C-alpha cells in the first residue's frame, strides 16, 4: 500500500521558519495538501494543490513541491502554530487517498 | 457557513455494525463537485480516509476497508451515512464526516470537517 512519510517532530523558536516535509513516490504525479490539527479539534486545510492557500489562512503558510518531496513552510512561526501537521495525497493511479503520519510542530 | 455534524451511538459491540450519520447545514449535499467523505483517526495518531460518496451517489472506498463499508446519501434530510460491519476493537477511533473537493485539476482534499465523534467497540 502507498505511504507518505513525515518526520515525527519539528521544533522551532517563535519568529523562526519551520519547514515540514512529506515524501512519497507518487508526489510527482499527484497533487498534495496540508492540514493543521490542534489538540481536540478537527483538522484544518492550510495548503491545497501543493501550493495554494485557502482563504483565511495566514500568508506565513506556504507550500512547495520538488520531485518526491513536499514541503510546508511556516515563516515567522507564532505560538498559535503549534499543532500536528498532516500531508495528504493519492497513490500513483489516483484510486485511493492517504495521509502522512503527521509532524508535531513545537514552538519553544 | 458550511457545517457538518456527526451523530450515532458512541458504543458498539464487537462483530456488530457501526452506523453514523452526518447532517450537513449551510449547503446542499446535491451541489455538484463535492464528495461527502468519512475519515477516522486513532486517538493521538494519524488520519485514515474511509471513503466518499459523490453528489450523484457514486461511491469510492479505501481498499483496506471496502469489504465492510457502505456510504449512502439521504437527500431529503441533507445527510449522508456510514455503515461499518463486523467491527472489532481496532475500529475504536474518532470518526469524522467531511466535505471533499475532487477535481482532476486539484486532486482530492477536504475543505470542511465535522467535529468528530468517538466510537468505542466493546462488549
- B18, B87 in Cβ contact below 8 A? yes
Query: What is the chain A residue with the closest CA to B114?
Result: A42
pLDDT of residue B34: 92
pLDDT of residue A92: 87
Buried b (16+ CB within 10 A) or exposed e, A17-42: ebebbbbbebbeebbbbbbbbeeeeb
Read off the C-alpha cell for B114: 465535522
Query: What is the chain B residue with the closest CA to A52?
Result: B106
- Is A98's CB within 8 Å of B116's CB? no
Query: What is the chain B residue with the closest CA to A5?
Result: B46
Gap between the Cα atoms of A87 and B1, Å rounded: 25
| Alpha carbon of A77: minimum distance to chain B alpha carbons (Å) | 23
Contact list in B for residue A86 (CB cut-off 8 A) is: 46-47
Gap between the Cα atoms of A90 and A10, Å rounded: 24
Gap between the Cα atoms of A27 and B83, Å rounded: 31
Q: Is the pLDDT of residue B105 over 90?
A: no
Contact list in A for residue B42 (CB cut-off 8 A) is: none
The per-residue pLDDT for range B31-56, each reduced to its tens digit, is: 888 999 999 999 878 999 999 999 88
Question: Closest partner residue to B109 among A45, A96, A100, by Cβ?
Answer: A45
* Mean pLDDT of the residues in chain B: 94
Chain position carrying cell 449535499 = B29
Amino acid at each position: 500500500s502507498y505511504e507518505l512519510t513525515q518526520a515525527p517532530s519539528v521544533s522551532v523558536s517563535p519568529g523562526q521558519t519551520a519547514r515540514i516535509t512529506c515524501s512519497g513516490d507518487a508526489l510527482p504525479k499527484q497533487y498534495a495538501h496540508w492540514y493543521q490539527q490542534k489538540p481536540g479539534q478537527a483538522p484544518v486545510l492550510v495548503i491545497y494543490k501543493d501550493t495554494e492557500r485557502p482563504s483565511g489562512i495566514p500568508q506565513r503558510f506556504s507550500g512547495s513541491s520538488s520531485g518526491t518531496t513536499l514541503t510546508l513552510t511556516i515563516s515567522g512561526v507564532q505560538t498559535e502554530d503549534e499543532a500536528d501537521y498532516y500531508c495528504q495525497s493519492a497513490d500513483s493511479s489516483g484510486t485511493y487517498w492517504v495521509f502522512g503520519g503527521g509532524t508535531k510542530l513545537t514552538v519553544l | 457557513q458550511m457545517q457538518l455534524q456527526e451523530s450515532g451511538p458512541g458504543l458498539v459491540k464487537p462483530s456488530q455494525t457501526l452506523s453514523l450519520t452526518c447532517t450537513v447545514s449551510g449547503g446542499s449535499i446535491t451541489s455538484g463537485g463535492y464528495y461527502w467523505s468519512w475519515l477516522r483517526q486513532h486517538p493521538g495518531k494519524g488520519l485514515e480516509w474511509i471513503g466518499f460518496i459523490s453528489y450523484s451517489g457514486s461511491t469510492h472506498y479505501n481498499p483496506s476497508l471496502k469489504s465492510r463499508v457502505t456510504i449512502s446519501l439521504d437527500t431529503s434530510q441533507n445527510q449522508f451515512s456510514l455503515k461499518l460491519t463486523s467491527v472489532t476493537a481496532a475500529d475504536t477511533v474518532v470518526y469524522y464526516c467531511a466535505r471533499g473537493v475532487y477535481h482532476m485539476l486539484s486532486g482530492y482534499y477536504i475543505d470542511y470537517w465535522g467535529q468528530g465523534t468517538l466510537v468505542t467497540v466493546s462488549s
